[in-house]
């Protein structure tokens, strides 16, 4: 078995724990760079807000790439999985809090 497949076999609620940890760790490591880049276009996004944006950005990027993952599929299902919808929309709203337009 390939190591990545082994790591992805551990799941919580149907979602691979490895994928979630990798996404949040990647966003944590990229947040200083992303905050700095957005400051260049006069948006002050605190570093911790990027962690809230992790799942909504993941859903959006998978939709744009056409790669339908279990979480993307659950989010797009209009008849069920309301908890995941609340989680994604709630994290998006929490991510928007604290964003400021910098006037220089």
pLDDT tens sequence for the chain (104 residues): 678 889 899 999 889 999 999 999 999 999 999 999 999 999 999 999 999 999 999 999 999 999 999 999 999 999 999 999 999 999 999 999 999 999 87
For 98, the token pair is 């604290």
Query: Is the pTM here over 0.85, yes or no?
Result: yes
For 87, the token pair is 């989680």
Say what the pLDDT of residue 1 is.
Answer: 63
Positive or negative, the CA dihedral 73, 57, 22, 13 is negative
Q: For 16, how many CA atoms within 13 A lie in the half-sphere containing its CB?
A: 13
Nearest to 51 by CA among 87, 74, 26, 71: 26
């Amino acid at each position: 078995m390939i190591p990545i497949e082994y790591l992805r076999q551990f799941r919580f609620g149907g979602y691979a724990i490895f994928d979630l940890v990798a996404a949040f760790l990647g966003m944590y490591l990229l947040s200083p760079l992303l905050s700095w880049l957005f400051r260049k276009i006069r948006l002050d996004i605190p570093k911790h807000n990027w962690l809230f944006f992790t799942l909504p950005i993941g859903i959006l990027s998978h939709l744009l790439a056409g790669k339908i993952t279990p979480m993307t599929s659950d989010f797009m299902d209009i008849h069920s999985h309301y908890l995941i919808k609340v989680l994604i929309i709630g994290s998006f709203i929490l991510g928007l809090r604290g964003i400021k337009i910098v006037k220089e």
